[in-house]
Structures are given as C-alpha cells and as structure tokens.
Amino acid sequence: MILSGHGLDEVDRTVLRLLQGDGRMSNARLAETLSLSETPCWRRLRRLEAEGFIEGYQARLSRRKLGYGVLAFVQVTLGDHAGEAPLQFERQVAGLPQILSCHNVTGDCDYLLQVVAEDLDAYGLFVRDRLRTLPGVTAIRSSLSLREVKASSALPV
C-alpha cells in the first residue's frame, strides 16, 4: 500500500512504526521482524533517513527523574506582529532549553510554548526573568499540568 503523495509502501510504514517503538532496534532484528534480508532492510532504512522521513534518533528521558516537576503550557502574545519582533522572539526561544516546544498558533495568543521547570518557584523566576524579557512580549498566560494523561511523539503511520 502506498500512502498518497508520500512514496511509502506498507513495509516502509512498518519500519517507521517499529523504530518509533524502539529506536535502538538493530538492523538484524528489524530485518527478521520484516522477513527481509539485512542488506535490503538496511538500504530501505537509509533511504527513509535520506528522504527525511526519519529525522534522527534520541532517548526518551523522564522529566520527573531529572527533577522537572512542573510542566506548563504557556500562551504568549506579542504586541508587534510586523518586522523583526516575531523573528527575534523565535530566535531567542530556540535558545532556551526549558522550552520544549514553541508553536506559532491561531486564536487568542500568538505562540504556545511547552515549558519545564524544577518547581513552581523556578517556573516563576523563568517567567519573570526570561519570558517577560523576550522581544515584543505583551502578555503571558500559563496553564500548569496537573497530571500527564498521555505524552507521545509517535506519529500514526
């Protein structure tokens, strides 16, 4: 089966699903699971990487074990939407490791951020000393996660 416009057949999709579940899966195990020999499996994997379907590999870390007890979703509104202000904001956000994701969104705010902090005090300092000082920021609204029901970066393939 080929997904329209994507050039992926069912074996490609299975490779992607398997690697999303276990990014450390060896080529030998992947080939065995797919009932392929190792060389064609390796070529298929390299093609998926070269074509950008696989952007990289990384370990999923426990934010709680690493001491990040606060997860916040932060709505940021900019006062100036023209010129350099949004670009400067985005450049500075990209350099802040506490910000896990930043999305330019529609609706009542301009950006939605996902932020981690050790505790509420650390989060308060981050908002005061870092977020409020970013170029163009006129409003910040935070929603703190009370309980993480689902956290995944796996895409449906």
Specify the pTM.
0.85
Residues facing residue 116 across a β-bridge: 71
pLDDT tens-digit map of 96-137: 999 999 999 999 999 999 999 999 999 999 999 999 999 999
Pick the more confident residue, 47 or 153: 47
Last residue of a domain, one of 41, 60, 79: 60
Q: What is the mean pLDDT of the chain?
A: 93
- What confidence category does residue 83 fall into, taking pLDDT thresholds of 50, 70 and 90? confident
Domain membership of residue 22 as a residue range? 1-60
- What confidence category does residue 45 fall into, taking pLDDT thresholds of 50, 70 and 90? very high
Looking at the chain, list the stretches that DSSP marks H as alpha helix, in order from N- to C-terminal side. Answer: 10-21, 27-34, 38-50, 85-94, 120-129
Q: How far is CA 71 from CA 16, 115, 131, 134, in A?
A: 29, 6, 15, 20
d(CA 95, CA 93): 5
Q: What is the CATH number of the domain that holds 81?
A: 3.30.70.920
Predicted local distance difference test score (pLDDT) of residue 3: 43
Contact 149, 94 (CB under 8 A): no
Q: Are residues 83 and 138 in the same domain?
A: yes
Contact 115, 100 (CB under 8 A): yes
| Number of domains within the chain | 2
Last residue of a domain, one of 33, 60, 87: 60
